[in-house]
Amino acid sequence: MTSRSDRLRQWAVTVGFVAGLIGTLAGLGIIGTQVQNSAGGALRADATLLTPASQAFSIWSVIYVGLVGYVIWQWLPAQAHSRTARATGWWAAASLLLNGAWLGVTQAGWLWVSVLVIALLAYVLGRLCLNLVGHGPHSLAELLVVYVTFGLYLGWVCVATVANVTAAAVGTGVRLGAAERIVAVIVLLVAGALGVFLSRRMPGQYAIGVAMAWGLAWIAIGRLLVQPQSLVVGTVAAVVAAGVLAAHLLSARVRA
């Protein structure tokens, strides 16, 4: 039976989506400054060694379509009180609000605040995906709008957090000189370790590995083909991308 709490959750998700949409319009430059041009250009695709090439951000189109589907799905009568909707709804609403908040603080140029926001966003999405462990989807729609959508969302945000931290450091004047490439490699290895950890904690959620591999692969492409170029960073990013994807595929097979 649908309870008052279920209705509040449904409205929270919807309000969160609208707030996130406003932030997205700002990030696209429709009602504000494009993300790549905000914060003094610290978030441009060529700003740091760990920023993915611009094509990587096309994954947001898939994520946003999935989020629209999720908002609609959780309003369906059969889903209003479903276990999956209850396990994900409040976390989904929080993630949508945080995504809008991130876009807002980058508009203001608050780079280190944006790091805190995106780290919290990664945590929230992690909790949401963790709630899905051990409970497979009950329909194709649920698979697509819940498991795939939020898996992609979490995987991408993990990579984006790495890029965000680096952009905040560079944007606020941190200069590493000759050690910059070494630090970039270390950070990539940490990202890879996180990807493997997530594959162990959330086996079978392929979308997380796919999104992380996607973001890391575009870091590799950016460093090999676009400025600032670095053969070492590009190669390590490519290897880590392959490793993370393999870890998710293998962990799912072991679970099966």
- If we measure between CA atoms, which residue out of 150, 138, 169, 161 comes closest to residue 69? 150
pLDDT in single tens digits along all 256 residues of the chain: 678 898 999 999 999 999 888 877 766 666 656 666 555 555 676 678 999 998 999 999 999 999 999 999 999 998 888 999 999 999 999 999 999 889 888 888 888 999 999 999 999 999 999 999 988 888 999 999 999 999 999 999 999 999 899 888 877 777 766 678 999 999 999 999 999 999 999 998 999 999 999 999 999 999 999 888 999 999 999 999 999 999 999 986 655 4
Exposure letters 29-50 (e unless 16+ CB within 10 A, then b): eeebeebbebbeebbbbebbbb
Contacts of 205 (CB under 8 A, 6+ apart): 129, 132, 133, 147, 151, 198, 248
Whole-model pTM: value is 0.92
Alpha carbon distance 16, 4 (integer Å): 18
Alpha carbon distance 237, 20 (integer Å): 30
- Phi-psi region at 134: left, alpha or beta (left = phi > 0; alpha = psi -120 to 50): left
Q: Token digits for 233?
A: 């960073």
